[in-house]
Structure 1
Amino acid sequence: MVSSLLSEALSSPTDVLLSFYDAYDHGALDDFPKAVAKHFSDIFRTEEAFSEIPPLIPSRSYNDRALVRFRALVQDTSLSPEIYLSRLRDGKCGGWGMTETPQGDGDDSDFDFNHLRDSSVLWAVSVPGETEWYQSASDGHPLARADQHVESLRAHKYPIPGGTHYGVQIKMYINSGNDIPKTTDVLNFVGILSNEPQVLHAESDESIIVPTLHVLFVREHHLNIFEASPEPFQHHVREELLSWIADEALGGDRDAAEWVLLTYVARVQSRTRSLNPPSLTLSHFPSPTSSLPPLPALCHLLSLILPLHVTLSLSLDMLNSVPFAPESVNEDLHSGYLQLAQGTAVLMTESGIQEGKLIERGVLNVRTIQQVIDTQTLAYKFPFSEFSFPTDINFVILAEGTKSALFQTDVTFPLNSPSTSDLYKLNSDIKLPSIDKLEAFRRLILSAKAGNIEVTEAISEHIQEDFVRQRKTDDAMSPEDLKRTITLARLICLTMYDSSVTVDGWERAKELNRRRMARFA
């Protein structure tokens, strides 16, 4: 019975919805959308069943009213709700894209107002920066990749200009009040796909036909897609990961590799106490020569081990022309480069910044980037107001000089006399570890990024006493130094699968920072 219902839901979700409606208590229609969500989520409750739902991706065609799943970033929640008839005049189910059969010259107003309901309307896009391996692993099988650029409707609503993606109008029928999805949430929407008109902006009747997903149920998406490993932490995996990053992308600089790793596994710990992920500048990172690839090898290497990764090759032209913050234009929210999912790793290169002038937009973009680095909030611009929304984005900046030309970061780490040819390689020149080793690297990173760690009372006392001893010999030590070293110790212990900060982790953090300071000497 379950398998036949599963098969029918996959092949004809509309028929399953209509059958469920016919059997439902019509005296409780207010609860019908919640019942629909439970009914369909029960059908696809197992991972095996869920993976059978076709994913919505660019360059693939779908039948009208096909059942699809769309792992997407919520880009715009400001669209007006839509009124629909929950029960049509013929007694059939309304909503989910099902409307009245045309009645010729009949009176369209002959309906029961008590059957009017409203649906929430959102705009969602493919998750920006989602790496190929992570996309494949999240969906249970490799996804077909577009081998050419795919034009997407309303491309200005995607954070990365020119990026291949799917943009979809989302219609949700559960009245969730303030619990509707928020901007930059990443969710798995499962529903019936159709093509419907969308009004371009409130002051015009002009509309275009866009892909529209009528949501049956929503499943949360967690960044860590790996189950807990039955094996204990293996110290050599962490060491091999650091050596691989150093040797293949950072000219053999192992300390630089550790700073990069720790920066990218960090996340916001507490917004009230401003415990944000540290930002990092790798200084003395030379620009590529004309005979070398334009992007550093680190870009490709990171895409092999991180789930969400975006490279921003900064230039004055880019800063002066491309928005980095979302902005409402004619009541339509245009996206910006930094409207990214929580957990996204951003690598910014400054090699393209030459002499020139920043115009007003460029100055605003620099301020926007710095605001996100400092506060982990991104300001959305509206005609008469500005609202800040929380972010959780990791930043590493590659700077040619002794520090970043435009930004201030929490940590600056000078690369150790790198050879330019060791930093810029073709993808094919990067030596790859085995598939099993790569998966171990990915598992370590995602486990560390999702992990929680505490500072016990005993280790807290040890740290305080140690800090007091250090202040006696170095009065330049400040509370900020203490805060930074504790954060570093947390991250080190997370990458070693510890549940709490250890004395060893504290000592490692002190030594790592000591070696960093020695570079400046």
Structure 2
Amino acid sequence: MPFTHFIPLTVDYLNTASLSPKKDYETNRLVSGVLQLAEGSHIMIDETHLQAGTLNSVGVENVRLIKNLMELQKVEYDFKYYKMEMEADVQLLILSEGKSNILPADLVLPFRPLSVESCEIGDAEALKAWRWYLASLKSLPHSIEPDMQKVVEDDLVAARQADRSLGSQDFSRWLTMGRLMSVSFGETSLSLEHWQMVKELERLRTERLQLKIN
């Protein structure tokens, strides 16, 4: 990824970390916080080492700040006498032993690798090319042609009839997946093939969740 940041989430980390940028009036400078990241950054939060403990006031505030970033894509800047929310563009991936009770992720996917193999990191030029590719694709324009709009609408109605628990957030996520699927192939319009790929990914995810529950 072009920009990444790793957070080892523990009670001690939450109770001591400075996640929010703060204004230092003695130096008249803004002291950066962990969540003050470049546009398009990717955060990986590791909950696997999180153990029972008590959060102090800083810890409770830090949990709120992370939730605010996840749900609203906003980072709160602390100017001591007042606070200001700034728009953010940050993706978050949470690694957890189970569904996170602290950070409510939009999507849950049980990790089930078929095999564990070593992965060789490419040379510097190859990594640079991949980072450029990933960063550039996100900015591509995207649209859904009228004929595909009808296909998508019919599929959403059918999905809702089959599963009443599905709501607007699920459908919005599917449309986002459709856009990302299209641009990952360098295309700016959703095709039937890529929409079917999105539906298959969602089917496999749901199937994996059911296997985990059973």
Question: Same fold by TM (over 0.5)?
Answer: yes
Matched, 1:447 2:166: no
Gaps of 5+ in 1: 1-305, 424-428
Task: Report the RMSD for the aligned CA atoms in angstroms.
Answer: 2.2
Among candidates 7, 13, 25, match of residue 330 of structure 1: 25
Q: Distance in 2 between matches of 1:383 and 1:370?
A: 21
Is the 2:2–2:132 Cα contact (8 Å) retained in structure 1? no
TM-score, reference length from structure 1? 0.38
Which ranges of structure 2 fall in alignment gaps of 5 or more residues?
none
More displaced 10-residue stretch of structure 1: 327-336 or 505-514: 327-336
| Distance change >3 Å, CA 520–CA 451, structure 1 → 2 | same
- 2:8 paired with 1:310: no
Question: What's the offset of the Cα at 1:470?
Answer: 2.7
The match for 1:414 is: 110
Give 1:21-60 correspondences, 5 Å limit: none
Q: 1:359 aligns with which of 26, 41, 56?
A: 56
How do 1:19-418 residues align onto structure 2 when only pairs under 5 Å count? 306-330=1-25, 332=28, 333-400=30-97, 402-416=98-112
Structure 2: how far apart are the matches of 1:440 and 1:330? 42
d(CA) in 2 for partners of 1:319 and 1:507? 41
Q: Deviation string for 1:174-226 (max 9, x for gaps)?
A: xxxxxxxxxxxxxxxxxxxxxxxxxxxxxxxxxxxxxxxxxxxxxxxxxxxxx
Cα offset for 1:330? Answer: 3.4
SS at match of 1:318: helix
From 476, 500, 511, give the equivalent of 2:165: 476
The residue number in structure 2 matching 1:485 is 174
- Following the alignment from structure 1 to structure 2, what is the Cα–Cα distance between the partners of residues 497 and 465? 26
Give 4+ residue runs of structure 1 displaced > 4 Å after superposition. 433-440
Matches for 1:13-24 after TM superposition, within 5 Å: none
Q: TM-score, normalised by structure 2?
A: 0.87
Q: Deviations over 1:324-348 (max 9, x none)?
A: 0012243543221101111111111
> 3-state DSSP class of the match of 1:345?
strand
CA distance in 2, matches of 1:351, 1:418: 21
Identity %: 28
CA distance in 1 between partners of 2:113 and 2:172 (Å): 30
Change (3 A) 1:309 1:376: same
Q: Would the aligned equivalents of 1:490 and 1:505 in 2 still touch at CA under 8 Å?
A: no
Give, in angstroms, the shift of residue 407 of structure 1: 0.2
1:458 Cα deviation from its structure 2 partner: 2.2
Deviation at 1:386, TM superposition (A): 1.1
Instruction: Give the structure with higher Rg (CA).
Output: 1
CA contact (8 A) 2:156 2:171 kept: yes
Structure 1 residue 477, shift from structure 2 partner = 2.8
Q: Paired residues, what number?
A: 208
More helix by share: 2
Number of the residue aligned with 1:499: 188
Query: Which residue is 1:514 aligned to?
Result: 203
The code of the aligned residue for 1:389 comes to M
Report the Cα distance in structure 2 between the residues aligned to 1:470 and 1:349, rounded to whole angstroms.
Answer: 33
